[in-house]
Structure 1
């Protein structure tokens, strides 16, 4: 039995009610902007907003430290501002990696919901 994704989606749409079909369409592929904004929804959106603001502050600290590093005159201040720039950029990168992991988690949950809906539709179970 050889089917393309479009044929499978058509079969699923035929097996679903109008409400379920609308929900199934909602679970479709997302682009990068929708995935990024999707992180800021749900129970932990306050935490995500705080970490996003913190990453902006840390990036500002990186810019400040780099500016001061460029104009530093002693070795001690160069080391301090260099360490501050390094620490702030590593922190920003850590936050960004965490966001990408959350986006991946949301994507996996979306696919699991699609699979559950497809299994329910193909088995003929109405909820």
Structure 2
């Protein structure tokens, strides 16, 4: 990791002020910034809808879990147990979808950084 930081520092020193600002916009993000990035761009409504569905599923899973633990009849326990299992798996799959979206956004950001570096290199080669 230290070597990557040294390379980034060398690149930043070689850039002009405008290029440094552009380079910094594609810098690495924290987890909270990546989560906020889910709600920007073309997929923001889908991700907001998925978040709402996750909250609804979690509420239903809590309700089913409560009913599962509060009943003593096995024939009533089975549907509530299946409901808890299904809802928790659905929440997990929706979370995986959002993590893949975050990974896609990080990959796109890295590609943009590479494009910037290539354009700076091409500009410096044209000057020589």
* Superposition TM-score, scaled by structure 2 size: 0.87
Bigger relative contact order, structure 1 or 2 (CA pairs below 8 A, ≥6 apart):
1
Give the unaligned 5+ runs of structure 2: none
Query: 1:1-127 to 2 correspondence within 5 Å?
Result: 4-124=3-123
Measured after TM superposition, the shift of residue 17 of structure 1 is 3.8
Deviations 1:4-48 (Å, cap 9, x if unpaired)?
434533443354443332111011111111111111110110110
3-state secondary structure, aligned to 2:72: coil
Q: Which residues of structure 1 form unaligned runs of 5+?
A: none
Larger helix share, 1 or 2: 2
TM-superposed deviation, 1:108: 0.5
Distance 1:124 1:15 in 2: 12
C-alpha contact 1:15 1:124 (8 A) present in aligned 2? no
Distance 1:11 1:124 in 2: 17
Supply the distance in 2 between the matched residues of 1:107 and 1:37 (Cα, whole angstroms): 12
Rounded Cα–Cα distance in structure 2 between residues aligned with 1:90 and 1:8: 42
Q: Normalization by structure 1: what TM-score?
A: 0.87
State the distance in 2 between where 1:50 and 1:8 align: 40
* Matches of 2:28 and 2:117, distance apart in 1: 15
